[in-house]
Each structure stands twice: as C-alpha cells, then as structure tokens.
Amino acid sequence: MKPIQVGLLGMGVVGTGTFNVLQRNQEEIKRRAGRGIEITMVADLDMARAQSLVGAGVQVVNDARAVIANPDIDIVIELIGGYGIARTLVLEAIAAGKHVVTANKALLAVHGTEIFAAASAKGVMVAFEAAVAGGIPIIKALREGLTANSIQWIAGIINGTTNFILSEMRDKGLDFGVVLKQAQALGYAEADPTFDIEGVDAAHKATIMSAIAFGIPVQFDKAYVEGITKLGAADIKYAEQLGYRIKLLGITKRTPAGIELRVHPSLVPTKRLIANVEGAMNAVMVQADAVGTTLYYGKGAGAEPTASAVIADLVDITRLHTADPAQRVPHLAFQPNAMSDLHVLPMSEVVTSYYLRLRVADETGVLAKVTGILAEAGISIDAVLQREADEVGGEGSTQTDLIILTHDCVEAKMNAAIALMQAQPTVLEPITRIRKEELA
Ligand code: HSE
C-alpha cells in the first residue's frame, strides 16, 4: 500500500525532530502502522532553511494553505503554535477533510470545543498527544489506559522551564530573577518566558487533561492561574526545613462541589516521588479509583521527545483513518453526547491547606495575635516555624519570619484571615501564601 502522505506546517524544532525521527525509524514505524508514513510537503516561511533540512525529495512551500489544498495529503501536522493563524489553518484543514495532528496546547485549551466539534462533524481526527507533557504519553494513558477508572485527581509538573528554575533555586539558594536569567542564557527559558513563568502554559495543559479526565468541555477561562514569579529562595528553604519541596503543579480534581482546575506553586512532601522530579523534566500523577495512583515521568519538551508524541498520533491516524468514525477513541475520551456539565469551581471555593510566611516585628504577643486570627476563622494550624530574628534579618534584627502550615480550609476563609493578619501593624510585609498538596 502506498504510504500515507503528511503535510507539515512549521519546520521549527519539533517539525525538524518529527521529520528526522520519522526517517530514522521508518521501517519499524511502518511495521507498526501497517503502512508507510511520509512527510511529503512542508510549509515554512524560511523555505531555503526548510528545504535544506528535508532534502530535495520533499516539496517546500511558504504558504500553509497550499499544503491544506493538496488532495494527496491525508494528515496535516500543525506546529505553528498560538491561537491566531493556527486556529484558522486547523479549521481549514478539517474543512478540507484532513486529519490533524497538533502540539498546540494553547489552541486546544482555548478553542478545543470548536475544533473538536468541527472535526467530529467532518469525520476526521484531531490528535494532540504532544500538546501535554511532550514525550510522555499522558493523553493515551488518560484516554485509553485508564478508561476503566473514575479519575479522582491529576497533579502534574507540566512545565519544564519552571521546574528547571525551581530546581536551581533550591539547589543554589538563589532568587527567582537570578535563575531566570541563567535559564534564558542556557536556552531553558524563552526570551519572552511569560507563558511559562506565569503558569499559563501549565494551565493550558491542565485544562486539556481536566477535560479528558472528567468528560467536561475544555475551559481554560475557568482555570485559576498563578506562576512562580513571586517565590523567593527563603520560601523554598523554609519548605525544605518542614519536609516539603515547592513545585508548580497543574491540578484538576473531582469534588462533590465541582471540578477544581488550578495551576499554582505548591508545597509537596519531599517523600513523594513527584517532589523529586528535578530540572526540566515533567511528571504527571493520576489518582483513579480502580488502579490507584500512577505516575508518568519524562521529557516534556524538546525536538525528539515531542516528535515521539507527534508520530504516535500519526500512527494512530494511519491505523484508524479508514475505520468508522464512531469506532474511534473520542477526542476527549467521552462520547460527545455523553459529556458532563460539572462546573469548574472558582478558586475561592477550593479546599486545600496552606503555607503562610509572615515577616513580623519580633515582639511579645505577635504569634498569639496571628494564631488567634486563624483560630477565630476556624482554620486549624498543622505546624509553626519561627526563625531567630538574627538569622532572618542579621545581627540585632527586630524582625523575624513566622511560618505556619495549616490544615485544609476553603480558600475564601483563608483570604479573609490573610486580610485580617495583613492589617496588623506588626505584620511588616505582604504575607506569602503557598498552597500545600499532600498528594496522598
Ligand atoms: N515551554 C514548555 C515547558 C514546553 O517549559 O515545558 C512546551 O509546552
């Protein structure tokens, strides 16, 4: 049978990795897919560079629409990124009857409902393994491997840039700004790292996992998103002393009140495997009723790890494109007519536990006042750590850090308690609040 023909939009790092891995492993991939898979057309604005990467046998154009219009192309890989032209091209490819493979988490987290509906109406597949945690086959695991389960929660380190920064901050005792500059110099962080460090990239991925885990629509606009820019080396150090590491987690959880969908720095017990995922690596922990806890670990970015996921999608489509669309795995794991309308909880209704750091005047009664506010609010304290003033502010210092770990409480209650504590004249700086996840 003649190979299935693939058109590639965007010959960047992942596009190049995909082309190379497909070539290198073509024989094995063909034995698995039952048919050869060939990238026969590439669209990239830098045509000369793209042509030099793919060789003379592949047609290179600078117009993505020429790929979509080519009747010989069965599958379009979208590796352009972003919500703009990528959305238009993906919808046009679907309208032209092409199956689509994309690594574009932003696009799916924001426009997934529209894109999956268009694909279902046209009877084509949109595959997106590479959109979440790069080379880790987490979409496959959630959508197929865990299909027997009622999934209870997912917690993932799903942004390598921020995990690299947090690891460096902990290892070297450095503050965020210093490590960010180093990460940029080493190529671990983009020149504009906003999406990574503000938690947006992780929230895109958490949104997609949430939809697949619970059969709800993709709803990025409902996600709570907080990045790592306000973390200091001191918090990482104090957390360590209390037996925790700070990780940027993407969390989605089923609760009786609704679905939690949130990205924020979290204290995680050092004894959990996921707390020991360091550097730019990713890991996703899934709690499900039948299987219990499972953990998926690997590279979340990079040319060939991401290519691994893109090509897995190409193989799936090659195997399934002649099947009755009703027999294929649904885009979001659940049949489109069986989606749930469970609502996503606002952050104020989320229940979790907390790490609080208060810079306070080292005076009589300050600790009693603060703990009194928490007691009054019905918030139970789990642990308190107070450093010597000299250790915090240098010899003769009259200030100190008060670190409090709480038991679970609803976020709205904690917000109110923090406002009351902050209003105390003996609380000298904005209170640091970091959520804590036991992941038990
Ligand atoms: N910028 C992402 C990360 C990789 O740092 O993990 C692509 O999502």
Model confidence at 1, pLDDT cuts 50, 70, 90, reads: confident
Residue type for position 233: A
Residue nearest to atom 2 of ligand 1 (CA): 159
Look at residue 290 and tell me whether its pLDDT is greater than 90. Answer: yes
CA 374 to ligand 1 center in whole angstroms: 38
pLDDT tens digits, 204-224: 999 999 999 999 999 999 999
Ligand 1 geometric centre to CA of 437 (Å): 23
Tokens representing residue 163 in the block? 């995990």
| Strand residue runs (E) in 182-291 | 224-225, 244-255, 258-269, 281-288
**Mutational pocket test of ligand 1: of 138, 164, 180, 196, the residue with most ligand atoms within 8 Å of the beta carbon:** 196
Confirm if 142 and 213 have CB atoms less than 8 A apart: yes
Q: Is the model more confident about 186 or about 93?
A: 93
pLDDT at residue 155 is higher than 80: yes
**Ligand 1 midpoint to CA 159 (Å):** 5
Domain ranges of the chain: 4-135+303-338, 138-299, 351-436
- Pick from 159, 198, 200, 308 the residue to mutate for probing ligand 1's pocket: most ligand atoms within 8 Å of its CB: 159
Task: Give pLDDT, residue 26.
Answer: 97
Say if strands 126-127 and 151-157 run parallel, antiparallel, or are unpaired.
Answer: unpaired
Q: How many whole angstroms separate alpha carbon 425 and alpha carbon 167?
A: 35
Write down the pLDDT at residue 394: 76
Q: Which residues are catalytic?
A: 205
Give percent of the chain above pLDDT 90: 94
Decide if pLDDT at 237 tops 80: yes
For the cut 80, the answer to whether the pLDDT of residue 80 exceeds it is yes
Tokens encoding 19: 């082309």
Question: Which helix H or strand E contains 85, and what residues bound it?
Answer: helix 85-95
Distances (CA, A) of 47 to 20, 61, 162: 17, 6, 33
As a whole number, mean pLDDT of residues 172-184 equals 93
pLDDT single digits (tens) 298-320: 999 999 999 999 999 999 999 99
- Mean pLDDT estimate for the chain: 96
Query: What's the pLDDT at 136?
Result: 98
160 in contact with ligand 1, CB cutoff 6 A: yes
Nearest one of 85, 4, 80 to 38, comparing CA atoms: 4
Regarding the beta carbon of 300 and ligand 1, being less than 6 Å apart is answered yes
Mean pLDDT of 39-44: 98
Decide whether any atom of ligand 1 lies within 6 Å of the 200 Cβ: no
For residue 161 and ligand 1, the question of a CB distance below 6 A is answered with yes
Q: Report the CATH fold assignment for 351-436.
A: Alpha-Beta Plaits (3.30.70)
For residue 190, is pLDDT > 90?
no
Residue listed under structure tokens 């000369």: 48
Fold of the domain spanning 4-135+303-338: Rossmann fold (3.40.50)
Confidence of residue 391 (pLDDT cuts 50, 70, 90): confident
- Tokens 């990528």 belong to 86
Angle of CA points 399, 404, 410, to nearest 5°: 135
Ligand 1 pocket test target in 161, 166, 282, 284 with most atoms within 8 Å of CB: 161
Q: Is 306 in the pocket of ligand 1 (CB under 6 A)?
A: no
DSSP 123-167: T--EE-GGGTTTTS-HHHIIIIITTTS-EEEEEEE--HHHHHHHH
40 alpha carbon – ligand 1 mean position (Å) = 28
159 pocket-lining for ligand 1 (C-beta < 6 Å): yes
Calculate how far, in angstroms, residue 300's C-alpha sits from the geometric centre of ligand 1: 7
Structure tokens at 399: 């200030």
CB of 301 closer than 6 angstroms to any ligand 1 atom: yes
201 lines ligand 1 (CB under 6 A): yes
Mean pLDDT, residues 116-122 taken together: 97
The pLDDT assigned to 427 comes to 97
Question: Three-state SS for 49?
Answer: helix
Q: Which two tokens stand for residue 355?
A: 């790490």
Q: Is the pLDDT of residue 395 over 80?
A: no
CB distance 305 to ligand 1 below 6 Å:
no
Mean pLDDT of 265-282: 98
Q: Give the distance (Å) from ligand 1 centre to CA of residue 283.
A: 13
Ligand 1 atom 7 nearest Cα: 301
137 lines ligand 1 (CB under 6 A): no
**pLDDT at 192 (0 to 100):** 86
Least Cα distance to 166 among 237, 226, 223, 105 occurs for: 237
Average pLDDT over residues 282-301: 98
CATH code of the region 138-299: 3.30.360.10
Concatenate the DSSP letters of all residues of 252-273 into one string: EEEETTEEEEEEEEEEEETTSG
Rounded to whole angstroms, how far apart are CA atoms 222 and 323? 35
Distance 193 CA to ligand 1 centre (A): 10
Residue type present at position 150: S
Contact 404, 381 (CB under 8 A): yes
The pTM of this model reads 0.96
Residue nearest to atom 4 of ligand 1 (CA): 301
